[in-house]
Amino acid sequence: MRGVAAGPPTVKSPSGRTRANTWSFSKVEDTKICVVMVGLPARGKSYIAQLAQRYLQWLSIPAATFNVGNYRRNDAPQPTADFFDFNNPEGERKRRAAAEAAVADMLAWFRTGGVVGILDATNSTKERRKWVMDTCTAHGIEVLFVESKCDDEEVIMANIRDVKLTSPDYRGQDPEAAAQDFRNRISHYEKVYKTINADEDEDNYTYLKLMNVGKQVIINRIQDYLQSRIVYYLMNLHIRPRSVWLSRHGESLYNLSGRIGGDMLLSPRGELYAKKLPELVRESVGDDRPLTVWTSTLKRTIATARFLPPHYNQLQWKALDELDSGVCDGLTYQEIKDRYPEDFAARDEDKYNYRYRGGESYRDVVIRLEPIIMELERSEDILIVTHQAVLRCIYAYFMKKDQAKSPWMNVPLHTLIKLTPRAYGTEEVRYEAHIPAVSTWRGKGSTAKHENPTPESL
């Protein structure tokens, strides 16, 4: 089955060299939001916080997480469960001090230009939430509570096993004893935990409640654009196991001649890759897992995906088209340097922000990829066949790559990349087709048609 997905409008610059605009969050610098995580231990709060931070940073929105547990560990590195008994005054005092230290650091960070601060803690009582609310409000910071509720025993047990037993709180301890202690800790929290309650005095709070991540959501009093973007992103998350496969198209005729852009077909070696791709995919995905394939609307990606099994759904996205190189489309890097020497230098100076005359910057590409990321988060197994610049941007999202460095990353042709999101980061496996192809990587200042990537670009 094939179709064309509606994409967002392509961002075009007026003629002439311009820096990319900071995007649709034009008033983002004026907004300060504290995202306050709420929920019992082992409900995926840190996972959600980490994803929200990654998403925002990918969009160049200054975001940071303040994990109260890390502050508490300074004072109580490996406490047993009774530390978390709410009748233990010493534990209460230290936990309160840790929360105060985290909030103080967060406020200081907001003063240096921070936009979204994520307070990662249980914030399980109304008193604690009121204190955070009052403190933030007094500093002109909006508060968005994000409560994660989960009654799926399997998910809770997996969280206890995978996350908590690798936590510094239990380092070096017997895993069984650690799991038992952690369960005892959870029961202490259960005694005082109050869900955010709209019927009572928390009705005026802005909040998002997530039930079993992705199954059910409740939203209350979302106030502005940035809040709604965060909420929309979090609503689309799920925790079902899945992977994302990424591949560039097979070597194209322009790749061979060192020309950029265009809409060329594959070279003979590119054709070989297209024929080999189903086998690589089968090796990595297996035979019976359903897979959806996304390509760009350009010939070279469609040709690369055309031998994949017909029962895979295939969808073409305009948003996956290669970075638009405007007036430089179809030129070699040497021709660009000869015709537009200032542009050539400016691009090397700031490759992420440089926008081709009449074309796009990497920053522009990230903006148009946002719906793709949103759809990826909602989906299960997806294979994306796309282009060098687009793949760099998607890879940067999953692997948390620094945006300034990502445009210089080497993404070899004829290689399938498998990314699997895990609780604390994304796992990567690469499958090489062993079909030779030219290198399209280019170092700063170089006009070589084909250059070997340096070790730092890998």
Ligand X SMILES: O=P(O)(O)OC[C@H]1O[C@@](CO)(OP(=O)(O)O)[C@@H](O)[C@@H]1O
Contact residues for ligand X (CB under 6 A)?
248, 252, 255, 260-261, 322-323, 325, 387-389, 407, 440, 442
What is the crossing angle of helices 126-138 and 89-111, to 10°? 30
Q: How many residues does the chain have?
A: 458
Q: Using the minimum distance from each CB to ligand X, give the nearer residue, 71 or 356.
A: 356
Catalytically annotated residue among 188, 202, 249, 343: 249
SS3 state of residue 348: helix
Contact 176, 164 (CB under 8 A): no
Q: Is 92 a catalytic residue?
A: no
Q: How far is the CB of 249 from ligand X (least distance, A)?
A: 6
Which one, 286 or 436, has the nearer CB to ligand X? 436
Residue type, 169: D
Query: What is the smallest separation between the CB atom of 408 and ligand X, expressed in angstroms?
Result: 8
Catalytic site includes residue 151: no
Which is nearer to ligand X, 373 or 393 (by Cβ)? 393
Catalytic residue of the set 202, 322, 377, 381:
322
Whole-angstrom distance, CA of residue 74 vs CA of residue 83: 14
- How many Cα atoms are found within 13 Å in the side-chain-facing hemisphere of 66? 23
Q: How far apart are CA 159 and CA 162, in angstroms?
A: 5
Q: How far is the CB of 440 from ligand X (least distance, A)?
A: 4
Minimum distance of ligand X from residue 186's CB (angstroms): 49
Shorter beta-carbon distance to ligand X: residue 146 or 320: 320
Q: Please say which residue, 45 or 248, places its beta carbon nearer to ligand X.
A: 248
Give yes or no: 322 in active site: yes
Quote the strand ranges of 12-131, DSSP E. Answer: 18-19, 33-38, 63-67, 116-120
**CB of 174: closest distance to ligand X in angstroms?**
51
Contact indicator for 332, 255 with CB cutoff of 8 Å: no
d(CA 149, CA 201): 20
Spatial CA neighbour of 99 closest among 64, 124, 62, 63: 124
Residues annotated as catalytic (active site), given as ranges: 120, 249, 322
